[in-house]
Amino acid sequence: MRFVISLIITVFFLSCTYDNKEPVASQDTTAGVFLDVPEDFDFSTHRQVTIEIWDSDPSIRYDIFNIPDAPEYKGIETFENQAGEVVTEEVYHNNVMERHISSGVPHNGVLKLTTTIPKYINNVYLRRKDRYVMTGETVPILNNKVIYNHQNNFNGNEQTNRTPGEILDFLFCVNGSGELFKVDPLNGDLTYLSAMPDGSYTAGIDQVNGYLYSIGRSSPNPIMKYSIVDNTWEIINYLGMGGPRLDYNKFDNLLYFSRSNKLYTIDPATGTVLDQWNIEGLHSLVGGDLVFAEDQTLFMCTFSGLYRLELDSNDVYQSTRISADNLPFNPTSMTFDSDQNLWLANNAASSDLIIMDTVTGGWQYTWGINAGNGTDFGRTINDLTTLRVVNENYVDLDTDGDGILDKDDAKPSDPEIAFETFTPSQFGEGTVAFEDLWPSFGDYDFNDVALNYRNIVYTNSQNLAVKMEFNCTIKSHISGYVNGVAFELDGLTPNQIESITNQHFFESYVTLNANGTEANQDNAVIFITDNAHQMPDDITVTVEFTTPLDPNTIGSAPFNPFIVANRNRDVEIHLPNKDVTSLGTVGLDISGVNRDPDGNYIASNGYPWAISLVHDFKVPKESVEITTAYNFFANWATSGGVESLDWYKDNPGNRNDEKLQD
């Protein structure tokens, strides 16, 4: 049986304006800042983390995410707030679902993997899926390890313990930061579900067909449809207006949407507005939600409290306030559970969940900071809706017969593939950037060769690696050199790879084995190209393994990446403290002064010739030194990586955008 690695490469070239250069000392370009870095500092922005999950149930699927300590800056956005005002402001998101690293099931009671995680990340988020029930927990990274034992962390209140035939309630929540998550009303546990196409203040569930509907807060306000079974989104239409209130009415199968003192019905199949009414008697027109009870009574809340709505003979909805006084909190959302308890959430940076009596308007905090029971959601809940599931015998398909149910299988029709591991994450990209004048000083703009990548390792039902996709883009190649791009898998020998196809060679300095690996190498070395200038767009390099492999033997992207400078096979330029391959030479016989006398790819002026980030690195413009483009690079380097760990991110004050390439 042969197993395949597909490397999908998309290459964009910037114009090359330099004449062909030779690596001699006269080409030194002295950096404007001398970096006095600690002796053992390697300029690494990420670390290898081993994750061990112990769980005796082999049918359980785990999804693993890296999670920042605080919401991250995402830029400036224009959107409609809950008061109906169009505002432009800085936006910060958690975006946990966009940080998906890996999935798998315990094999012989354990799921184990090694992955690459930014050094500023201190926790991972583990989502446990037991058939239709998902629970989640944040686990700290300690000494570059994450160890989680489900039996030790098991919560006896989890709804998996409920008896067959009983109804399970899940409170689905959305917010303006674009997060979809659920809360277990029995214990207040929060589980992330998905990143949304747009932030939203609204949610309504079609229980029968398993869809959640939501309206985006940003113009043109997409009507978004989420499949609860498939965990996918689609946009039905664009409403052209935003608002805070939405519910799906199971009695007529329409969406009911409200903003200010207006109520609209929307066809969920087409997103077409069908009808509209005025609402009278609301004391505040801001915020809130609407919901239908089992007896078809329509309830609405705004920031002035809870109301019951009734349509009068003039086709106007009259509102009757149930809560006697203005509430001490601003309600953003409400939903009924299967016991007809009315749940509300308040408008806060960390919302509370509140139960209210629909007859008297009495209420109590149930979960959240103000409940006083130790729960803290750490995020706003802008709308609530309830999913009710009957706890019956669970039946699902396993089309490919690999022992992994289709709903948990990354490739349900392929028995050789079950799960995926992403580096740096499912939706993120990393960058490796090089200076190509080694061992002479460079100009330290790191744009001679800059490679973006996303790596995907596919594993089978036994958690063995069977396939890998290394998706990459050469985002910058401002150099007169003809540079090759390659990486070494230092945990594999060449004979563990059966064949490589569709590599792109234009020169004659690389010699290959019959299987496509580079000849005369102790470890497997794979060239993407020997001339980055000539490499076409959208190519796929396919590598076949002889047998499935322990993923830890492959290593974690970007592996040991390097460039070969100016057709000189001896001249390999690596990340700091990385070893050369069998064909690279550290002590080059060159004319002039060797600026890397230690052979560790850190120059005598403190600068490296290559850097690696598990982030999309914005490359400086030509001849703009990295310390000029990035305000905290020098502080990070001279502190030995202790300070300014996120110097490269788009946080306010980090970058000088006018000095960066588009």
Domain coordinates of the chain in residue numbers?
A: 3-18+30-45+421-659, 168-390
Chain segment 584-595, per-residue pLDDT in tens: 987 655 556 788
pTM of the model: 0.76
Q: What is the spatial distance between Cα 641 and Cα 43, in angstroms, rounded to a whole number?
A: 7
* Residue from 397, 395, 396, 411 nearest 461 by CA: 411
In degrees rounded to 5, what are phi and psi of residue 588? -70, 145
Burial annotation 136-171 (CB, 10 A radius, 16+ → b, else e): bbebebeeeebebebeeeeeeebbeeeeeeeebbbb
- pLDDT in the model for residue 132: 67
Question: Which pLDDT belongs to residue 21?
Answer: 42
Residue 534: the pLDDT is 86
pLDDT by 10-residue block (mean), the chain, 662 residues: 42 37 49 80 94 92 89 79 78 78 92 92 91 84 95 55 63 94 92 93 94 95 94 95 95 95 96 96 92 93 91 95 78 88 91 86 88 93 88 70 89 94 88 94 94 90 90 89 95 92 91 96 95 80 87 92 96 96 76 80 94 95 96 96 93 93 90
Phi, psi for 371 (deg, rounded to 5): -75, -20
Q: Give the per-residue pLDDT at 8.
A: 42
What architecture does CATH give domain 168-390? 6 Propeller (2.120)
Neighbours of 625 (CB within 10 A): 21
Tell me the C-alpha distance between 117 and 106, whole Å: 22
Beta-carbon contacts of residue 195 (< 8 Å; ≥ 6 apart): 95, 96, 97, 98, 178, 179, 180, 427
Question: Are the beta carbons of 585 and 570 closer than 8 angstroms?
Answer: yes
pLDDT at 525: 97
CA distance 30 to 10: 33
SS3 649: coil
CA 58 vs CA 62, 197, 420, 462, 504: distances in Å: 11, 33, 17, 10, 43
Report d(CA 597, CA 588) in Å as an integer: 10
- pLDDT for 98: 79
334/132 Cα distance (integer angstroms)? 23
Measured between alpha carbons, how far is 456 from 467 in angstroms, rounded to an integer? 8
Phi, psi of 520 (to 5 degrees): 65, 30
Residues 271 and 239 sit within 8 Å (Cβ to Cβ) = yes
Three-class SS string for 368-436?
CHHHCCCCCCCCCCCEEEEEEEECCCCCCCCCCCCCCCHHHCCCCCCCCCCEEEEECCCCCCEEEEECC
Q: What is 295-317 written as a DSSP string?
A: T--EEEEETTEEEEEEE-TTS-E
Tokens of residue 38, six digits: 């600690």
